[in-house]
């Protein structure tokens, strides 16, 4: 595992110390790793949403929604 030194203002350092002292995290490194994992998940979710939007925009002209066809498709998927 690589080591990284990070400089923090005193207020942020106190915050990290408080968070890591709650028992949820073993130490400051554990807390920072959790923050990074959460940020990675959030970024992956944002990218997935952006990809879906892009796919929708590139899929062509909009079509009128056929509600009955949509209901039939949902029923088929549920096996009803």
User: How many domains is the chain partitioned into structurally?
Assistant: 1
13: CB partners within 8 A, 6+ apart? none
Rg, the chain, Cα only: 23
Phi/psi class of residue 78: alpha, beta or left (left: φ > 0; alpha: ψ in -120 to 50)?
Answer: alpha
- Considering the domain boundaries, does residue 35 fall inside one? yes
Nearest CA-CA partner of 3 in 28, 38, 37: 28
Q: What's the pTM?
A: 0.70
- Considering the domain boundaries, does residue 71 fall inside one? no
- Predicted confidence pLDDT, tens digits, the chain (80 residues): 899 999 999 999 999 999 998 899 999 999 999 999 999 999 999 999 999 999 999 999 988 989 999 999 999 998 86
- Considering the domain boundaries, does residue 74 fall inside one? no
- Considering the domain boundaries, does residue 3 fall inside one? no
On whether the CB atoms of residues 72 and 56 are closer than 8 A, the answer is: no
- Considering the domain boundaries, does residue 44 fall inside one? yes
- Parent domain of 16: 11-57
């Amino acid at each position: 595992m690589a080591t990284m030194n990070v400089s923090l203002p005193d207020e942020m350092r106190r915050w990290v110390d408080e968070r890591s002292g709650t028992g949820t995290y073993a130490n400051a490194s554990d807390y920072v790793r959790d923050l990074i994992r959460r940020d990675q998940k959030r970024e992956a979710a944002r990218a997935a949403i952006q990809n879906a939007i892009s796919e929708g925009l590139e899929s062509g002209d909009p079509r009128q929604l056929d509600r009955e066809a949509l209901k039939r498709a949902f029923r088929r998927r549920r096996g009803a």
